Amino acid sequence: MAGKLSKEQTKQHNRARQLVDMARDLTDEEREFVLDHFHESANMGRTLDGAFFTPAELASELHHVIPGDRVIDLCAGIGRLAWHARDYWIRRWEGLPPREIVCVEKDPEYVRVGRRVLPEAKWICADVLDVPGMDLGPFDCAISNPPFGRIKRSGDAPGYRGPLFEFHVIAVAETLARRGAFIIPRESAPFRIETGFVRQDSAAYERFHRETGITLRPNPGIPTDEFRDQWRDASPAVEIVLHNRDEDELEARAERAALAEREAVAIRPRRPKTTRRTSAAPQAAPPSRSCDGGDTLF
């Protein structure tokens, strides 16, 4: 795959590798250089395994929708999403402590690079599907740009039995965090953001939702297509979808209450249509009427 790189890309990729191999800590500029120029296509014989690193500008949009102090990045690559998820300057400005970040990535070489780019994060070299058994404790938010589609996997995530890797990762994320933000293929999302929000049918999402109960929600309007030509070796149509378990639970509670109400109305005994009035029976008050003779609302 190294043949795919231009001369200039190869030069910069090699410089990034040199930086990674240096004995000293890297400066911020060097860390960014590695993120920008370490090339996933120059993978020296390993399978690409759905590795398409997120363009920097798209990754920087994601930080707007990440809440909390403890964040896990699943299928982290060399740490592009995690780098922006630190929200370093804003949190410093606001006097907040640095975010605690955990990155999970299967490829040991990416983990080695990631540890140099983001040494403040905890890096775990593992299969994402093994994470639910790792006892990492609760996170405020899980983020991911996972491999897309029907790529080979070692098993299934809790609840989901379908073929799409992105949904397995989201189902894993749901075991770790009440909130999530994920980059997924557009056809797996129940909406797309164009000039505004457009709801769309996705049979794949319907299945995922049915099997897991997880609802994927729209973001506040991140125009992912603006970054489409910034991916390397691909130009995927993607959406950023959000998960919020608090909202899922509120909606489920409201639905249960509405169902119970409908059932109660259905089984409530009906009053007979005509009742013979006895002198002892109290008379029902006539329904109130508005002045034009229609029923009033209150």
Query: Which residue among 50, 132, 163, 236 contacts ligand SAM (CB under 6 A)?
Result: 50
CB–CB of 189/200 below 8 Å? yes
Query: Which residue among 19, 77, 177, 182 contacts ligand SAM (CB under 6 A)?
Result: 77
Which is it for the CA torsion 56, 61, 65, 68, positive or negative? positive
- Order across the sheet with 122-125: list the strands: 122-125, 100-105, 70-74, 141-144, 179-185, 238-244, 217-218
2 versus 259: smaller Cβ distance to ligand SAM: 2
Smallest separation (angstroms) from ligand SAM to the CB of 107: 4
Query: Which residue among 12, 145, 215, 219 contacts ligand SAM (CB under 6 A)?
Result: 145
Residue 49 interacts with ligand SAM (CB under 6 A): yes or no:
yes
Residue 41 interacts with ligand SAM (CB under 6 A): yes or no:
no
Query: Which residue among 12, 41, 54, 224 contacts ligand SAM (CB under 6 A)?
Result: 54
Q: Which residue is nearest to ligand SAM (CB)?
A: 77
236 versus 247: smaller Cβ distance to ligand SAM: 236
In degrees to the nearest 10, what's the CA dihedral of 53, 56, 57, 63? 90
Smallest separation (angstroms) from ligand SAM to the CB of 238: 10
Smallest separation (angstroms) from ligand SAM to the CB of 26: 18
102 versus 128: smaller Cβ distance to ligand SAM: 128
Residue 38 interacts with ligand SAM (CB under 6 A): yes or no:
no
Residue 75 interacts with ligand SAM (CB under 6 A): yes or no:
yes
41 versus 145: smaller Cβ distance to ligand SAM: 145
Residue 52 interacts with ligand SAM (CB under 6 A): yes or no:
yes
Residue 147 interacts with ligand SAM (CB under 6 A): yes or no:
yes
Question: Total binding residues for ligand SAM by CB under 6 A?
Answer: 21
Query: Which residue among 19, 66, 71, 110 contacts ligand SAM (CB under 6 A)?
Result: 110
- Of 6-14, 144-152, 227-235, 240-248, which part binds ligand SAM (CB under 6 A)? 144-152
147 versus 180: smaller Cβ distance to ligand SAM: 147
Query: Which residue among 51, 72, 121, 238 contacts ligand SAM (CB under 6 A)?
Result: 51
Kindly report the three-state secondary structure assignment for every residue of the chain. CHHHCCHHHHHHHHHHHHHHHCCCCCCHHHHHHHHHHCCCCCCCCCCCCCCCCCCHHHHHHHHHHCCCCEEEEECCCCCHHHHHHCCHHHHHHCCCCCCEEEEEECCHHHHHHHHHHCCCCEEEECCHHHHHHHCCCCECEEEECCCCCCCCCCCCCCCCCCCCHHHHHHHHHHCCECEEEEEEEHHHCCEEECCCEEECCCHHHHHHHHHHCCCCEECCCCCHHHHHHHCCCCCCCEEEEEEEHHHHHHHHHHHHHHHHHHHHHHHCCCCCCCCCCCCCCCCCCCCCECCCCCECCC
Residue 123 interacts with ligand SAM (CB under 6 A): yes or no:
no
Instruction: Kindly list the residues in this chain that would bind ligand SAM in the complex (CB under 6 A).
Output: 49-54, 75-77, 80-81, 104-107, 110, 127-128, 145-147
